[in-house]
């Protein structure tokens, strides 16, 4: 399991902070009100101190006319990159089961 990315993927909060809020002219407080969540929740997401949840993905998709999958894919990319960075060396020593590919092909 080798991470071929040299740069950490963009956190969804960075996209909101750097692109969407300035483009729309919304403040974090206004975004929180539109989504029906606390300003603290928005702030923690925007400042990358919190993972984006499925609930937030639905809310952001509604506000910004996108899809929840887009938001969750961004978060998943960050999560996988961070896991690889922290635990990748441990995973290199895990033994593989050859029969797994055949079993998974049937699913």
Q: How does DSSP assign 36-85, residue by residue?
A: TS-HHHHHHHHTTSSPPPHHHHHHHHHHHT--HHHHHHHHHHHHHHHHHH
Pick the CATH number of 12-105 from 3.40.120.10, 1.10.287.310, 3.30.530.20, 1.10.260.40: 1.10.260.40
User: DSSP letter at 20?
Assistant: I
Q: What is the rounded average pLDDT for all residues in the chain?
A: 91
| pLDDT(4) > 70 | no
Q: Say if pTM beats, i.e. exceeds, 0.85.
A: no
Q: What is the mean pLDDT of residues 12-29?
A: 98
Neighbour-count burial for 47-73, b at 16+ CB within 10 Å, e otherwise = ebebebeeebbebbbeebeeebeebbe
Residue 88 pLDDT class (50, 70, 90 cuts): confident
């Amino acid at each position: 399991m080798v991470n071929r990315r040299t740069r950490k993927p963009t956190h969804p909060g960075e996209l909101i902070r750097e692109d969407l809020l300035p483009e729309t002219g919304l403040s974090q407080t206004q975004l929180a009100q539109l989504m029906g969540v606390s300003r603290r929740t928005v702030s923690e997401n925007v400042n990358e101190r919190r993972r984006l949840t499925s609930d937030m993905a639905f809310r952001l998709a509604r506000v910004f006319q996108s899809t929840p999958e887009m938001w969750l894919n961004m978060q998943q990319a960050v999560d996988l990159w961070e896991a690889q960075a922290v635990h990748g060396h441990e995973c290199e020593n895990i033994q593989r089961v050859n029969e797994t590919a055949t079993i998974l092909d049937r699913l």
